[in-house]
A = this chain, B = another copy of it.
Amino acid sequence: MAKTQLADFNTSLSEWFNDVVLKAELADYAPVKGCMVIRPYGYALWESIQQFMDKLIKERGVKNAYFPLFIPMHFLEKEKEHVAGFAPELAVVTIGGGEELTEKLAVRPTSETIMYEMYKKWTSSWRDLPILVNQWCNIVRWEKRTYLFLRTSEFLWQEGHCAHATHEENMDTVMWALNMYEQTYNEHLAIYGIKGKKSNSEKFAGAGDTYTFESLMPNGKSLQSCTSHDLGQNFSKSFDWSVQGKNSEKVYPHQNSWGFSTRSIGGLIMTHGDVNGLVLPPSVAPTQVVIVPIPAHEKASIKAKEISQELKASFRVEVDEREGESAGFKFNKWELKGVPLRIEIGDRDVDGGTVIICRRDTSEKITVPFDKISSIITKLAKEIQTGLLEKHKKFTLDHTFKVDTYDEFKKVMETSRGFISAHWCENPECEAKIKTETLATTRCLPLDAPEEEGNCVGCGGVSTHRWLFGLSY
């Protein structure tokens, strides 16, 4: 049973999710429908993700920049599929400085169009390529209902936008970005997932191909956790952007874009959570170790500070000395907030020269002598980090169902929920039929899917690969 008043994790994940986000003070509903406030504890998670990824992005030679929030409407209209995809989601500024504007401005839903207009201005020759640019910013895609972190009108993200002289170089960046995202999910957030290519109906508006990292949530739904798009020459041609090639020929640059947003925090919360609240991997946890002296003063408190001082060289540590709250209340609070390791120290422990260390992920408690605290914490932090990833990988594999018939497919959708690995003919009509009848959509063609002869579960037609299907967020 939950120690804090949370909806049941196993039967009411959505309600549990909202409870945890609000009660752990990760975020709150904003006064404007569809918008959210990211509170300091939630924002610290985003800062940690930014720090991890920004280093990888810079190591690749991609540089950060900042492009304007406002995009003239006619820019968005240059690439037909792009505007068709985004028009219904736009927030539009019609008044500026007290006057009606002659051209309405879209609040950026993504920045391809405004960036490419500038890239065109800045380049004339193949020597000016590649362009390797990223930006961290806010974007707006109108939503009527708010689903904190997972679906909000405004969210934070990074968007990388590179341009290359050749398809090969372009694909190299597309795949680097996808792998960089996988590394962030695996190593930092301890989240497992499947890298793959989206079907035509599920790809980004204006992309040649969209690549995704799909992660399975505890309720068997799939979360599209980031995307990397090969835009081909769609945008450079729409924007009439060409440069002079090595042999004076006209070269339309090949482009890509890749984005990773605060949605990832929604995935993080669900993936590792349990009946008592958040469970954070140590790598991303704003507080990795909390020390609770009992009582919160005198001997135990002095020792708590000593231990904190020692651990601070390697860990993010907090001592909870707040008066007027019981030890039990504090334990629940820090469990709700998902702090990976808790050290309990009482006056008697000080005399005995030991503390109790409690793991958030397994609830395991051990008694540890003073001189071993630092080494045990180091060992446990590593175990938790790798353990959470392994656990999520096992959960994903255990909930991936290989089926060969439509009956089996439907049965999984009705009973088990998870990823379904099935043959599909790649015909969009067949994909639409399966979606209508089962609610399952194609999640991706896994990059490592072997060639395999088979029959489409939908129509029995020829299929060469198994696709992943599932319910999506």
Contact = CB atoms under 8 A, between A and B. Distances in A.
A416 B279 CA distance: 65
Contact of A118 (B28, B69, B71): B28
What is the oligomeric copy number?
2
B142 A37 contact: no
Interface in A78-100: 87-98
A92 B401 CA distance: 50
A22 to B, nearest CB: 11
A148 to B, nearest CB: 13
The winner among A46, A90, A91 for most chain B CB atoms within 10 A is A91
A406 interface: no
Interface in A125-160: 133, 137-138, 140, 142-144, 153-154, 156
A398 to B, nearest CB: 36
Given A28-B118, A28-B121, A137-B138, A64 B92 contact: no
B65 A40 contact: yes
A107 B98 CA distance: 13
A473 interface: no
A452 to B, nearest CB: 43
A68 interface: yes
The winner among A69, A94, A144 for most chain B CB atoms within 10 A is A69
Task: Kindly state the interface size class of chain A when it binds its partner.
Answer: 35 or more
A280 interface: no
A121 B30 CA distance: 11
Contacts of A94: 92-95
A117 B35 CA distance: 14
A96 B142 contact: yes
A92 B114 CA distance: 20
A38 interface: yes
A91 B95 contact: yes
A145 B221 CA distance: 50
Contact of A140 (B35, B69, B104): B69
Given A37-B68, A154-B68, A114 B144 contact: no
Given A88-B97, A94-B95, A96-B92, A138 B69 contact: yes
Given A37-B118, A40-B64, A88-B98, 19 more contacts: A35-B70, A37-B67, A38-B65, A44-B64, A47-B64, A69-B107, A69-B138, A69-B140, A70-B153, A90-B95, A91-B105, A92-B93, A92-B94, A93-B107, A95-B104, A96-B142, A97-B142, A98-B142, A107-B107
5 contacts: A28-B121, A40-B63, A70-B91, A92-B95, A93-B94
